[in-house]
Amino acid sequence: MLTPPRTVVRRDGGLYALERALQRRGFRHVAGADEAGRGACAGPLVAAAVVLPEGRRGEIDGLADSKLLTPASRERIHDEVVARALAYAVVVIPAEEVDARGLHVCNLAAMRRALASLTTRPEYVLTDGFGVDGLDVPGLAVWKGDRVAACVAAASVLAKVTRDRIMVELDANFPGYGFAEHKGYITAEHTAALREHGPCVEHRFSYVNVAAISGREGRPPRSRRPAPDGRHEPMARSAAAGGTVGVALDEQPRPPAPVGEDVVMEGGER
């Protein structure tokens, strides 16, 4: 019995090489999934899934990892992905659900829901960084997938633009935190606002920096969140916030990747 030849994807093959290789092996509809907001301590977690068409129609000028793009480029590419994609889906997980279920559980569930919502059923799934179980099609977790596979990069742009738009809206409802600028990530300005005003209902109280500032360090009950009508009410908090900022209590801290405009947002340096 003959063994089918291996599919080799060259490192220098470009952003579309992996999808094209899979399509040559019979997987016509390749879906990519990615998320935005995992490292933020305020606002929702957003996941997206995209199936790009085969051939030239699926090639989008300037498509790249959303963190490497300017806001204007992301908006343009977002609109092109929406116009060209065979199918796309976006799932928004509010901060309250992240607190109740845990970050990693919500992350997997959001990508699973986005993939299940695609109107074109994928025949193969590519995800960024780690695999998603519970799918009825083969898949591959790709390290830095948003820089390796076009469909994953497209999903990263949809997730990032959707979340950024939400954070701008939240900035109008919760002034004083600067959500429109830092999008809920741990910047010096956000930390100062947290210490001055205390957390609002859009913060993730399962994150150690929010828990410490609100006086809930030491694994506080996830269900103990402020009522929506008390979003600006001062809350008792400890004088000094200990621990690693921007990390969910159930997760190990990971150093941020120093790339793109989100460097400062993720805690790195330009």
Task: Identify the DSSP state of 79.
Answer: H
Nearest Cα neighbor of 197 from 237, 240, 227, 242 is 237
**Alpha helices, DSSP H, located in 94-207:** 95-101, 103-116, 150-173, 179-182, 188-197
Q: Please, what's the largest Cα pairwise distance for the chain? A: 72
Residues belonging to the binding site are: 34-35, 128
Residues belonging to the binding site for a divalent metal cation are: 34-35, 128
How many CB atoms are located within 10 Å of the residue 110 CB?
A: 27
Residues 102, 116 contacting (CB under 8 angstroms): no
Nearest Cα neighbor of 93 from 157, 150, 166 is 166
Total length of the chain: 270
Handedness of CA 252, 253, 255, 260 (dihedral sign): positive
Residue 268 burial class via C-beta count within 10 angstroms: exposed 0-12, middle 13-18, buried 19 and up: middle
